[in-house]
Structure 1
Amino acid sequence: MADLWQEAMDHAVAVARKAGEIVRHAVHNDMKVLCKSSSVDLVTKTDQKVEQLIIDSVKEKFPKHGFIGEESVAAGEPCVLSDNPTWIVDPVDGTTNFVHGAVFVLLFQLEFGVVYSCIEDKMYTARRGKGAFCNGDPLQVSDQKEINQSIIATEFGSNRDPEVVDVIFSNMRKILCLPVHGIRGAGSAAINMCMVASGCVEAYYEIGIHCWDIAAAAVIVEEAGGVLMDFEGGPMDLMSRRIIAANNKTIAERIVNEIKAYPAIRDDAPL
């Protein structure tokens, strides 16, 4: 009997590589940059071109599958999971980094995750129950259990509301004063989570991200032995727009105890 999930995952990897070629070409050539909601919330013609490539390719091969994509949702399409298999697509995750030369392409289907860091040529993949890999090599989270010997990843996001910025800086100050070894940020939620899966950092947290920012990497983190948690300590809610991804529950719960979360924003709220 054919393994339909493996067939879909293989297709995701293939189309991610094609998308990566487009992104690499844009980085080294002309790139049209547009603003979305603010000067720090950016979209490029490449985002839109890559998302369309992915959707067209998947629709042709899997016509009954649904989609949630950053650029299509921003254009007014609904952000809801259908009863059919659903692909969650972020064509270029970390667009602010993209216009500065660091780019990431992300694909996701509910049973597996694919994150392609095309400038580094690192293909992160995971399938439920079958482990996580980078370029075919197995991934495993760090075994560190002491927060004061950990490196934590986070991002500022694109929200510049003064109250939100105050919360972000307050949280970072609390984490730094535990103390921890340091705070890092790759400019992409997906890559930060893949860093957790790779054992490069012990945890990542952020408020204000969307489901397309974290969906693929969520599978990769769990398959590498990590945990996903909400800021209030319960399981991660993909639509809550906040996440803690950590190498183990001890580190995740310590972060929960230290940081303050402003109220969750549902993914169906205005962008």
Structure 2
Amino acid sequence: MADPWQECMDYAVTLARQAGEVVREAIKNEMNVMVKSSPADLVTATDQKIEKMLLSSIKEKYPSHSFIGEESVAAGEKSVLTDSPTWIIDPIDGTTNFVHRFPFVAVSIGFTVNKKMEFGVVYSCLEDKMYTGRKGKGAFCNGQKLQVSKQEDITKSLLVTEFGSSRTPETVRIILSNLERLLCVPIHGIRGVGTAAINMCLVATGVADAYYEMGIHCWDMAGAGIIVTEAGGVLMDVTGEPFDLMSRRIIAANSKTLAERIAREIQVVPFQRDDED
């Protein structure tokens, strides 16, 4: 039987490349920067322009499909995952990077059916790296097959994470405390390039062993999540429970062993779910 979603995935790759062109052009110019939930949660006119472009293109080609987009949700749309084919889009993952011209900016497109990830496309625009993952078909970067690392000893691991956009003292305290606990395990180091999607792709590539973060959204994880699992990795909740796309938290690791070990060290930061009002 032919793959029913391959055409959608090919279209997602085309759209991600088009969006990347817009990003590369916009980054050369003066930006109009606006603030969302906190002084560190930024949005630009380019985020909104790209999302509108992607949404109108998808709706024209696949009018029956559902859609969750970062900027649509910011404008008041509901973020509810249903069984219908759903495109989950972050037009610019790494907006703060984009604003500062820090060279890691991604367009992330995830696609779910029956609430399960079917494919993901993450385009690192400034590096011109196209990461793709399709359920049962493997993960690739610019056509090269990806494979997670084999390092299961946490004391020999390199992790990736972010500080997040919340600046409330209690949240910052827990985030820093988690970093301290992991560094004192001890681990080799902690990195982060400022975008959840690219951080997860680094795990899929095998250059980082695991990624964890709390406070991100379904559109940060939906594209890269399947790239990690198709490269041989695992997704897990930070509590050690099964991964939930709407939970706003994740461990993406090369193995269940390493994911569970990280889960034992970190304290949970409570964030409202994506599908809660």
Q: Secondary structure at the match of 1:244?
A: strand
Cα distance between partner residues in 2 of 1:171 and 1:164:
11
Match of 1:217 in 2: 224
Match of 1:58 in 2: 58
Give the alignment partner of residue 242 of structure 1, picking from 246, 249, 255: 249
Q: Secondary structure at the match of 1:133?
A: strand
Match of 2:204 in 1: 197
Match of 1:30 in 2: 30
- Unaligned runs of 5+ residues in structure 2 are 113-117
Q: Which amino acid aligns with 2:171?
A: V
Displacement after TM superposition at 1:268 (Å):
3.0
Larger displacement relative to structure 2 (2-11 or 187-196): 2-11
Q: TM-score, normalised by structure 1?
A: 0.97
Displacement after TM superposition at 1:264 (Å):
4.8
Q: Which amino acid aligns with 2:217?
A: H
Is contact 1:19-1:50 (8 Å) kept?
yes
Q: Secondary structure at the match of 1:98?
A: helix
Q: Secondary structure at the match of 1:4?
A: coil
Cα distance between partner residues in 1 of 2:159 and 2:75:
34
Is contact 1:205-1:245 (8 Å) kept?
yes
Cα distance between partner residues in 1 of 2:246 and 2:155:
31
Q: Secondary structure at the match of 1:164?
A: helix
Match of 1:104 in 2: 106
Match of 1:233 in 2: 240
- Unaligned runs of 5+ residues in structure 1 are none
Displacement after TM superposition at 1:2 (Å):
5.4
Q: Secondary structure at the match of 1:180?
A: coil
Is contact 1:98-1:104 (8 Å) kept?
no
Q: Which amino acid aligns with 1:237?
A: D
Match of 2:16 in 1: 16
Give the alignment partner of residue 155 of structure 2, picking from 138, 148, 159: 148
Q: TM-score, normalised by structure 2?
A: 0.95
Q: Deviations over 1:220-240 (max 9, x none)?
A: 000000011111111111111
Match of 2:189 in 1: 182
Q: How large is the Cα RMSD of the aligned pairs?
A: 1.2
Displacement after TM superposition at 1:135 (Å):
0.4
Query: Where does structure 1 differ by over 2 angstroms across 4 or more consecutive aligned residues?
Result: 1-4, 262-265
Q: Superposed, which structure 2 residues align to 1:100-179 within 5 Å?
A: 100-101=100-101, 102=103, 103-110=105-112, 111-179=118-186
